[in-house]
Amino acid sequence: MGYDNFFKEKSILVTGGAGSIGSVLVRKLLEFDPEVVRVFDNNETEIFNLYNELGSDRIRPLIGDVRDKERISRALEGIDILFHASALKHVPLCEYNPLDAVKTNILGTQNVMDAALDHEIEKVILISTDKAANPTNVMGATKLLAERLTVSMNYYKGKRKTSFSCVRFGNVLNTRGSVIPLFKNQIMKGGPVTLTDPDMTRFMMTIEKAVDLVFEASRISSGGEIFILKMPVINIRELAEVMIEKFAPEYGYNFADITVEDIGKRPGEKLYEELMTEHEAENAYEDDRMFILPTENMGLAESFLLNIPEGFVKTQKAVYSSNSNDSDRLSKEGIKVLLDKIFI
């Protein structure tokens, strides 16, 4: 990737820095010789564990919450690059706690963007989700508004230098609360493995791949873009079957004895996901790694067209959905290969 020197001697802050994605961002950033990486999170135990694990004098552990504007403003003093990964992200929990989802995902994002503008941060990257495309649940709706707040800051900033962009991707394999650790735990107990719907499909990628592309997007961003990372599609039932075959013998079971039980969709859950809507696809550009959705504001759109990153061309896709015929759907053998990369 071309971002190796981009982070050298830079001061960087990662909100949600002790979470599944944020912590990998932090670990990877340390490889690029930054001046400092500030890890901002409200989980005292996780931030303590990460700080002790990394043992780097370039790490600054900051306990705080994005709902607290004064705290995030103080944390951003002297920062060059901000990755905003803090969010409430579990669909059912956001359905049952909608006001808290608004406080963190929307108002918290507003606090972060305001503070970033006040301190004239060089680049701000919001980590978003496929659930922001055509949202049908509270979590997706709050993340959609977080995206719009972020992109629209480029109109709001006046003559300040800060650029605001988003990166949108799907499910990251084996992160906390995701389906793989759930299935693995159920297999360890002898089953059953529970499915919400046997036809459910999801975009999936490894966390290392996700982080690499987030860094590349931050390097080439100029402000106002939504970067949509390309990833394969997995049928959740096939994932469950492959995992049973792989892990049942490790836990002393015959894989044929572990059953799969359909329990129905959870509140707010979709049968398939979209990473890009039909409207968004009309203006999208792509290379072999990602799509770029430039802003539709005339000034910023013209600026993007004059500076299209090398290798990107106008996309021919009409939509980017996990149930579309042209999606990169993994076979069971492909799922096995992907799992082997995680569980070496």
Burial of 256 (0-12, 13-18, 19+ CB in 10 A): exposed
Contact 38, 62 (CB under 8 A): yes
- Average pLDDT of span 234-257: 92
Highest mean pLDDT (candidates 80-94, 265-279, 286-300): 80-94
Q: Which residue has the tokens 């499909």?
A: 201
| 59 phi and psi angles, rounded to 5 deg | -95, 135
Contact criterion met (CB below 8 Å) for 18 and 39? yes
Name the catalytic one among 131, 143, 230, 270.
131
Task: Find tokens 């709001």 and name the residue.
Answer: 156
The CATH architecture to which 11-170+205-230+274-321 belongs is 3-Layer(aba) Sandwich (3.40)
Spatial distance between the Cα atoms of 238 and 331, rounded to a whole number of angstroms: 8
- Would the pTM of this model clear 0.85, i.e. be above it? yes
3 state DSSP class of 195: strand
The per-residue pLDDT for 1 is 58
On whether the CB atoms of residues 1 and 216 are closer than 8 A, the answer is yes
Sign of the alpha-carbon dihedral angle for 324, 95, 113, 172: negative
Is 80 exceeded by the pLDDT of residue 324? no
Per-domain residue ranges of the chain: 11-170+205-230+274-321
Alpha-carbon distance of 143 to 131, in angstroms, equals 8
146-205 tens-digit pLDDT: 999 999 999 999 999 999 999 998 888 877 767 888 999 999 999 999 998 889 999 988
* Dist CA 217 CA 58 (whole Å): 23
Q: Is 142 strand, coil or helix?
A: helix
| Mean pLDDT, residues 127-132 | 93
pLDDT at 67 over 90: yes
Tokens at 10, concatenated: 């830079």
Please state which of the ranges 11-25, 30-44, 158-172, 258-272 shows the lowest mean pLDDT: 258-272
What is d(CA 253, CA 294) in angstroms, rounded to the nearest whole number? 51
- Does the pLDDT value for residue 74 go beyond 90? yes
Catalytic, 131? Answer: yes
Residue 37 has pLDDT above 80, yes or no: yes
Structure confidence at residue 302 as a pLDDT band (50, 70, 90): confident
Average pLDDT (96-103) is 97
- pLDDT for residue 298: 63
- Distant-in-sequence, close-in-space partners of 269: CB < 8 Å, separation ≥ 6: 91, 92, 137, 196
Helix or strand holding residue 68 (H, E): none
pLDDT at site 181: 87
Best CA proximity match to 327, nearest among 186, 206, 202, 183: 202
Joined tokens for residue 156: 């709001």
